[in-house]
Chain A
Amino acid sequence: MNDLLLLPVAGPLLVAAVLLALPGRMLLHRLAALATTAGVLVVAVALLVATSDGAVPVLRVGGWPESVAISLAADALSALLVTVTAVVVLCCLVAAVGSGDDRRPYFLPLVLVLSAGANGAFLTTDLFNLFVLIEVMLVPSYVLLSLAGGSGRGGAARVYVATNLLGSTLLLAGVALVYGTTGVVGLGDLAGLARDDPAVAVAAAVVLLALGLKSALVPLHDWLPRTYPVASPVVVALFSGLLTKVGLYAVIRIYAVVYGGDPAYHWLLGAVALLSMVVGVLGAVGEKSMRRILTFHMVSQIGYVLLGLALFTAASLAAAVYYLAQYILVKAALLLCAAAVRFGRGTDRLDESGGLSWQRPALGLAFAGAALSLAGLPPFSGFVAKFLLLRATAETGAWLAMTVAVLVSLVTLLSMLKIWSAVFAGDPPTSTAVEKRIGLPLVGAPLALAGLSLAAGLAAQPLLVVADTAAAGLRDPSGYVRAVTGR
């Protein structure tokens, strides 16, 4: 069982290496990438089942003793995120087949390396390996971002690389400071140290700052809406599911384990969460293309997850985990819809499109479902997530946070309605310069994701059980710590 932990990391890396050695065989590349990701998904579901009772399987790679081994461990939170990202990668690969993105040189191997890095970051138990695996994930993303065509791509690619490189440098500096103050970098060894020792708290805060930059928390969010919309739409969907979420996961994990959920900093997290929600949603109001609106909403939704962390009660953490998992699916669905629109119409600007729901009703259905879920309307998963979060907020009496969360949801709905009325409702544009048939993969991928969101809303119980287990593990990380340190 524990050996399974290696597969989500090593599997895609190995297949990517083999594929790089065999260029030009498109069918082989597609089959291998899809099969690998499907395999990762199966392994991730197995891990999810194994961890749903609170167990924490640990693998010391190569059988080395605990102090020197590279350890991988999965608790319910890690397993859930590996599962969800595998679903997103699978759908993005299918959509890339439909849009022809995967014909770009090295696209599929790069996506595999990206997913391997993300899975590794979810499973690692050590701050330095977290840094390395985030780099493994970022390096292909640099290339994927600059593969896309379009104007302004060079500049955006430079902003993206420079921002993330700064974040990585800061992260490494934070790891160095943590090592300097404690002499360890393993999460298990660091458990609770930042709560007890202000010096460690400052050092770990540098790590959190770097991760905040990577997950685009407000005041460090500006790079995201500037750079993501320039990438190819399918790539944006992939990035949204993996990159910022890894940063967010690491923030949650480090705050829960290293800080032990120290209440002294809840106000700071809460302030960042509320700011992210408001700034993100207001930034989207003025934008005029689907991808730009959706990337601003990314910033806003990350705030909701962080709000759950800031309250740090069992209910709010469960809400945050559930929110994060369903939100990754919903956002990928929306961005894949944007990819389909962009592929069919040659643009995803709001004023140059319209009437798409008549021509492609399935695509309209997928967008409508995902958009309602993002805004938090029943019966979709977004409703359950927001309901849980608001209930947890009310229980702690954080009325300001609750008001902001509700208002931001309303503005989110407004943005979604704006996209709907401009792109899907109304009459088709008269001048159809580019009108390509949107193939089945491009419609099917977002539809499947929206369907999953609906399923997670209608039958929320299994996911809620997992979220509760994950929240219990975050509230009291002693089980995780015991498993990771082996003591």
Chain B
Amino acid sequence: MKEQSAALIVGVLVAAGVFLLLRPGLLRVVLGFVLLGHAVNVLLLAAGGLGRRTAALEEVGPDTADPLPQAFVLTAIVITFGITVHLLGLLRRDDGDDEPAGDGAATGGGGGDGRSSGAGGGDGGGPDGGDGDVEPVREGAPEGDVR
């Protein structure tokens, strides 16, 4: 049962993460990566076996939890966190710089924008709003496509 629920959680997180990755706008891509990272963390924990719950450093028995996946997950969380901050920094710096025009038009502001600025808090609101605003600035830079 524990394995099944872990599989379900991983599936839902990956689906949501991939959905966000495929949406325009860097903030949603960042959030998508956060969800994907969570999915992989759950996968790592599940790989160590979810049935064994006793603390690892006490007496070792058949029920002792596997400490290795937990160490993996800790390391992975730190790395994902650092890169997420870097991505947010990129987003902040490029705000109004060369945000892809086509994408902003495709979103058309609307519900998507409102939702993600709510999720991202005060910080997210600015750059994501900029997504639509910069639209007429520059069509150039073919690399400007986040997808």
Is B31 part of the contact surface with A, judged by Cβ < 8 Å?
no
Provide the bound-state CA to CA distance between A132 and B71, in Å. Answer: 12
Given contacts A135-B79, A179-B68, contact A154 B47 (CB under 8 A): no
Query: Is the beta-carbon distance between A157 and B90 smaller than 8 angstroms?
Result: yes
Provide the bound-state CA to CA distance between A179 and B87, in Å. Answer: 29
The digit string for A163-186, where 1 denotes a CB below 8 A from any CB of B, is 001101100110111011000010
Within 8 A of B (CB), among A166-211: 166, 168-169, 172-173, 175-177, 179-180, 185
Query: Is the beta-carbon distance between B43 and A227 smaller than 8 angstroms?
Result: no
Query: Is the beta-carbon distance between B47 and A176 smaller than 8 angstroms?
Result: yes
Which of the residues A155, A165, A173 comes within 8 Å of B144, measured between beta carbons? A155
Query: Is the beta-carbon distance between A173 and B145 smaller than 8 angstroms?
Result: no
Given contacts A132-B75, A169-B37, A175-B72, contact A155 B141 (CB under 8 A): yes
Query: Is the beta-carbon distance between B44 and A155 smaller than 8 angstroms?
Result: no
Is A84 part of the contact surface with B, judged by Cβ < 8 Å?
no
The digit string for B72-111, where 1 denotes a CB below 8 A from any CB of A, is 1001100100110011001001100110100000000000
Residue of B nearest to A155 (CB): B144
Q: Chain B residues near A156 (CB, 8 Å)?
A: 143-144
Which of the residues A135, A151, A176 comes within 8 Å of B141, measured between beta carbons? A151
Q: How far is the CB of A479 from chain B (nearest CB, A)?
A: 27
Is B122 part of the contact surface with A, judged by Cβ < 8 Å?
no
Query: Is the beta-carbon distance between B43 and A155 smaller than 8 angstroms?
Result: no
Within 8 A of B (CB), among A123-179: 128, 132, 135, 139, 142-143, 146, 151-159, 161-162, 165-166, 168-169, 172-173, 175-177, 179
Query: Is the beta-carbon distance between A142 and B44 smaller than 8 angstroms?
Result: no
Is B62 part of the contact surface with A, judged by Cβ < 8 Å?
no
Q: How far is the CB of A328 from chain B (nearest CB, A)?
A: 25
Which of the residues B33, B69, B86, B98 comes within 8 Å of A151, measured between beta carbons? B98
Q: Chain B residues near A135 (CB, 8 Å)?
A: 79, 83
Residue of A nearest to B18 (CB): A166
Query: Is the beta-carbon distance between A165 and B47 smaller than 8 angstroms?
Result: no
Query: Is the beta-carbon distance between A161 and B48 smaller than 8 angstroms?
Result: no
Q: Please give the residue numbers on chain B whose beta carbons come within 8 Å of chain A beta carbons, in ascending order.
A: 21, 26, 29, 33, 36-37, 39-40, 43-44, 46-48, 68-69, 72, 75-76, 79, 82-83, 86-87, 90, 93-94, 97-98, 100, 140-146
Contacts A152-B143, A180-B47 known; 12 new A-B pairs at CB < 8 A: A139-B86, A146-B90, A152-B142, A154-B93, A157-B90, A159-B146, A165-B87, A166-B36, A172-B44, A177-B43, A185-B68, A230-B143
